[in-house]
Amino acid sequence: MSRTDSRGLVLDEKLLFESTSEGRVGYSLPQCDVPEVTPDSKLLRDEIADFPELSEVDVVRHYTRLSTWNYGVDSGFYPLGSCTMKYNPKVNEQAARLPGFAELHPQAPEHLSQGALQLMYMLQRDLAEVSGFDAITLQPAAGAQGEFAGMLMIRAWHEAQGNKRNKVIIPDTAHGTNPATASLCGFEVIPVATDGVLSKTAIEAVMSDEVAALMVTNPNTLGLFESDIREICDLIHERGGLVYADGANLNALMGISRPGDIGIDVMHFNLHKTFSTPHGGGGPGAGPVGVVEKLLPFMPTPIVVKEGDRYKLEYDLKQSIGRVKGFAGHFGILVRAYSYILSMGGEGLKRATEMAVLNANYIRARLEGEYDLPHKQRSLHEVVFSEAALENDCHTLDVAKRLIDYGFHPPTIYFPLVVRGALMIEPTETESKQNLDEFCDALLAIADEAKKQPELLKQAPVRAKVKRLDEATAARKPKLRWVRE
Amino acid sequence: MRYLPHTETDIRQMLETIGVTEIDELFSGIPEPCRLQAPLDLPPALSESESMTILRALAEQNAKVSEWDCFLGGGAYNHFVPAVVDHLVSRSEFYTAYTPYQPEISQGTLQAIFEFQTMICQLTGMDVANASMYDGASACAEAVLLALRVGRKRNKVLLSEALPPQYRETIATYCRYLEVELIEVPQQDGVTDQAELAALLDDQVAAVAVGYPNYFGQIEDLQALAAAAHAAGAKLISAVAEPMALGMFKAPGELGADVVVGEGQSFGIPLSFGGPGIGFFAVKQKDMRALPGRLVGETVDLDGKRGFVLTLATREQHIRREKATSNICSNQGMCTLMVGIFLALHGKQGLRKLAELNYAKAAYAKQQIAALDGFELAFDGETFNEFVVTCKESVADLQQRLEKEGILPGISLIKDYPELGNGLLICVTEQNSREQIDRLVSALAGGEA
């Protein structure tokens, strides 16, 4: 049976506001056991026009049906490059829901939060061990906020040294968050072109005493280890700068190489990538940051410290950049990540990296003859093909949409920008050889379809809930909420 | 390892296809000096039962709000979460998906976000809401950045002293290296001092940010604050840390707010030691293109069928890079779902009743405590489910004393608002029974005043 023969039950479902019936309720509240009082009516609103009125059954069916229109890692292979869509272990979900974690108020006294603080302390320690950094803050809410915290620390450190440096070097392979973050920290961006990997010469050419830092992703977004990274870090350091690493691709390095050992000064982690916490349909993630010792005084507060056998939130870092969000971090995500580390152990994390790299290289080997591979160096956890070998005016977008008909989530497309029509495939370690074979068979079949029946690609997807959507009109005449017609 | 499916045979065959003999060869792109020489110093892998034993032991050391008489609020609220919420968000089609980059197979997430955006608009009285931010504090900081972007050359922002301290600290961090002056507007009787505000407003002010309810639980006169801000050409940012209040109190949009941000944790998200929660962010139509973060819009597919997509991406970092409206990349997907489900369940009637229940419980507690010797309400004026009392007894002593009786009486304001003396911020929600409130009152009365 071919993958395109399957049939599912796809039910239609209106918007909440279109299914509403006046007077219908889906809640239950305790009796009011105190005198019922209301404030001055001037302060009160009228009823919220068009707000939903639904029964519990309505709500359950609504969201259950919506869920069936989604494709998650639990539905199947999800090789979204740069996003590390590995399996999300169920025990982590259970751990985060333990009442002692889920029902803990952030303002509870320290001695009544010792378990939570101890978990955070141990996670800080474990992340430090995996990355080779001296200290970790768990506060940032996501990778982009981790970048922000990291770059602020770099800026604050320079200021403390009396340095007036306002430029940051960013390679053209970087995630868009890197330049956006640099600019939020008041830095000017110096873009630098790469040919697959960064060369020391290219960096040397733009390095000056106005440059505060280099932002680098290692392995980079082509899945290539920056082979000159040590020399480049030395150069930046000699010229008075610091090096920031985007930790998005840490899944390629666990137990193999530690950013903190090779000259990186600051790096954020994406716990939702490397440490298996769910991507949640777009978040929440968590973006802890590791730093070398000299940056420790600049970390956002609070951090968790241990005094004797007690754990506490330390707010008193004299040179801290301040907090980047409320409370101490995405604790529920931290629990999941810690649970994952407990399940994997040190050897298991290394094995995860090895299998992730094996999987990516296997896909590369199986597809290289049929799809164009612009960068031929030894790649790690992901592989980036271009659209150059596609025939009959078929493009990356068409391949991606056709993959949906074969029952797979497409890879990341059109990123990194340095590859024309990039197809960026990151399988992760949790996929079996059978899954990879089915996926490669599908991509090979699609390449063949492009030659013989290109319309199959152009029309795709035909088997999803909806066909291709008109994104241009969505942007030209934005309709961002429901309103009664 | 149960998450790694590779058999020895698989590995051998895969290496053969790749054309190498050992896994280590796959790492030959990493120069030797960059290689880690020793194994990671982490404990060995544990079975599921072993790791859960450790995690359960850690969890057991923490205070669960269900086992205490908990009167803590201050930005994180103890509200009931119906069983439906966790049941539905546990559908892994939702939580194991990522950003809906491929709309044809993400219509579930996209429609749910579109509905979330709509409900946030309805609640706040605004025209457009985004797909969410990290939390209330960072959303408030992004609101300040929006005001600075839209306000062009204006470079001052006025922050009410009654804006939650964590919000003010986060704004300060976000603005650390931008050319902006943050100025505090003092509070008077628990709300933003309008005379002081008038004196500070000038044509350099891009925005005024106030809480609604504010950190003291007080309902600010948004209409007057908006009028003052607008007269100076500044925007009014209304930050809502306890959105349950919007179930009954006038919507900030109705009162003239230009940007409404806040924290949505109250709507179905567990306390979880302060995170993850969810920031919401809503503006009027004219500022739509200045919004940070993701937006979901309605469109049609090739057959003319309704569908939803991420839209207006040209504001965002992956397209605009250093010129983006924000560096934010993700949203709080799973939390938008929790909020959406919670609001859909409570609906028009339920949210109102729930808000009124919170109000009545807090009003009762407030009245009882105000009648005690040694305690005074710090401020007059209307409050929602939080209020400030000043105590003769030191707050630390009082907290310690009540803790022995199983009561967490509130948050000390001594560090953030020393001028109030022994200030205690007390929060009462629908989760606090009358018996709990009565126990709190008699325990407070039992002290050596």
Instruction: Supply the pLDDT for residue B444.
Output: 97
Identify which of B18, B33, B275 has the shortest CB distance to residue A329.
B275
Residue intervals in chain A for CATH 3.40.640.10: 91-343
| Domains of chain B by start residue, with CATH | 8-60 (no CATH), 69-80+348-445 (3.90.1150.10), 83-342 (3.40.640.10)
Q: What are phi and psi of A51, to 5 degrees?
A: -70, 150
Instruction: Supply the pLDDT for residue A3.
Output: 56
Instruction: Supply the pLDDT for residue B447.
Output: 66
Instruction: Supply the pLDDT for residue A195.
Output: 83
Instruction: Supply the pLDDT for residue B192.
Output: 98
Instruction: Supply the pLDDT for residue B448.
Output: 52
Contact B121 A32 (CB under 8 A): no
Instruction: Supply the pLDDT for residue B319.
Output: 80
Contact A480 B329 (CB under 8 A): no
Identify which of A54, A106, A349 has the shortest CB distance to residue B76.
A106
Question: What average pLDDT does the segment B429-448 reach?
Answer: 93
Position B325 confidence tier, pLDDT thresholds 50, 70, 90: confident
pLDDT digits (tens, 9 = 90+) for B181-229: 999 999 999 999 999 999 999 999 999 999 999 999 999 999 999 999 9
| Domain range A346-471, CATH architecture | Alpha-Beta Complex (3.90)
Contact A357 B97 (CB under 8 A): no
Predicted TM-score (pTM) of the model is 0.97
Question: How distant, in Å, are the alpha carbons of A209, A282, B107, B149 from that of A69?
Answer: 53, 16, 6, 38
What chain B residue is nearest to A264 in terms of C-alpha separation? B34
Instruction: Supply the pLDDT for residue A210.
Output: 97
Instruction: Supply the pLDDT for residue A376.
Output: 94
Contact A67 B40 (CB under 8 A): no
Please tell me which residue, A172 or B259, carries the higher pLDDT value. Answer: B259
Checking if the pLDDT of B449 tops 70, the result is: no
Q: How far is A276 from chain B (nearest CA, A)?
A: 10
Give the ipTM.
0.98
pLDDT digits (tens, 9 = 90+) for B97-111: 999 999 999 999 999
Instruction: Supply the pLDDT for residue A2.
Output: 53
What chain A residue is nearest to B105 in terms of C-alpha separation? A70
- Chain A partners within 8 Å of B137 (Cβ): 323, 325-326
Question: What average pLDDT does the segment B381-391 reach?
Answer: 98
Query: Which positions of chain A have pLDDT values less than 70?
Result: 1-10
Contact A141 B275 (CB under 8 A): yes
- Range scoring the smallest mean pLDDT among A391-395, A458-462, B243-247, B317-321: B317-321
Q: How far is B14 from chain A (nearest CA, A)?
A: 6
Q: What burial class does residue B309 get, using C-beta atoms within 10 Å of its C-beta: 0-12 exposed, 13-18 middle, 19+ buried?
A: buried
- Chain B partners within 8 Å of A115 (Cβ): 57-62
Identify which of A50, A115, A280 has the shortest CB distance to residue B334.
A280
Q: Is B155:B180 a contact under the CB 8 Å cutoff?
A: yes
Query: How many CB pairs lie under 8 A apart between chains A and B?
Result: 689
- Chain B partners within 8 Å of A466 (Cβ): 103-104, 107, 301, 303, 305, 307
Q: How far is B230 from chain A (nearest CA, A)?
A: 21
Instruction: Supply the pLDDT for residue B318.
Output: 82
Interface test with A, best of B22, B55, B323 (most A CBs within 10 A): B55
Instruction: Supply the pLDDT for residue B320.
Output: 82
Contact A280 B332 (CB under 8 A): yes
| Domain range A91-343, CATH architecture | 3-Layer(aba) Sandwich (3.40)
Contact B52 A230 (CB under 8 A): no
Verify cis geometry, omega within 30 degrees of 0, for the bond prior to A410: no
- Chain B partners within 8 Å of A364 (Cβ): 18
Contact B29 A378 (CB under 8 A): yes
pLDDT digits (tens, 9 = 90+) for A62-78: 999 999 999 999 999 99
Position B316 confidence tier, pLDDT thresholds 50, 70, 90: confident
Residue intervals in chain A for CATH 3.90.1150.10: 346-471
Contact A33 B111 (CB under 8 A): no
